[in-house]
Copies of this chain bind each other. A is one copy, B any other.
Amino acid sequence: MTATDRRAVPGNDPAGTAKNDTVAGVVRQWRAVHPDLDTGPMEIIGRINRCAALLQQAEDAPLRRAGLSRAEFDLLGALRRTGHELTPGELARETFSSGAAVTKRLKQLTERGLVERRGDTRDRRVAHVRLTDAGRDLVDGILPEQLAYETAALSGLDTPDRGHLAALLGDLLVQLEGRLVAPRG
């Protein structure tokens, strides 16, 4: 621990990636404590997690202004982008959340007049949920603002980098979805 230099240490960075973000610091600490472990995956996964956290925080601003949580907006967005009614179960799958969570959110959104439900005529277990006009208008009003925030958040990357990043994340996501979201029979 004598005279430790806080800056990047040459020769310690095989991938040539000498960032000075928070994740780089964390990885450096782990390497110092466990020099034997391969910390490579942390550089990707740690950054993905941290980027996700920061981006969500940034995006929450326009939503809070509209009195919506991210989860509520996701639900409304699913209805808006599919363009048709969805059942609670479909909404759960579409928004990657549990059925119980969807039930709760639908209750609130219905009370606020943003969605409406009707029972299925043939199968009385299932409900069909659709946006009200107010719900549709709300989503359409928020979306451009949301995208503007996102564009601003990404403005530090130039266009080719953005394309490249999207492509690499797409590759990764295909792998993850194939592996983790068990092959549907």
Contacts and interface: CB of A to CB of B under 8 A. Distances in A.
A82 B32 CA distance: 9
A163 B156 CA distance: 19
A100 interface: no
A102 to B, nearest CB: 16
B154 A41 contact: yes
Interface stretch (A51-59, A109-117, A121-129): A51-59
A94 to B, nearest CB: 9
Most buried by B among A24, A49, A58: A49
A111 to B, nearest CB: 26
A17 B167 contact: yes
Given A29-B82, A33-B83, A177-B21, A163 B42 contact: no
Nearest to A154: B41
A180 interface: yes
Contacts of A164: 164, 168
Interface in A69-99: 80-83, 96
A101 interface: no
B168 A40 contact: no
A19 interface: yes
Contacts of A40: 151, 162, 166
Given A30-B143, A154-B172, 12 more contacts: A15-B167, A19-B171, A21-B170, A21-B177, A42-B150, A44-B154, A48-B48, A48-B52, A48-B169, A49-B55, A58-B176, A165-B169
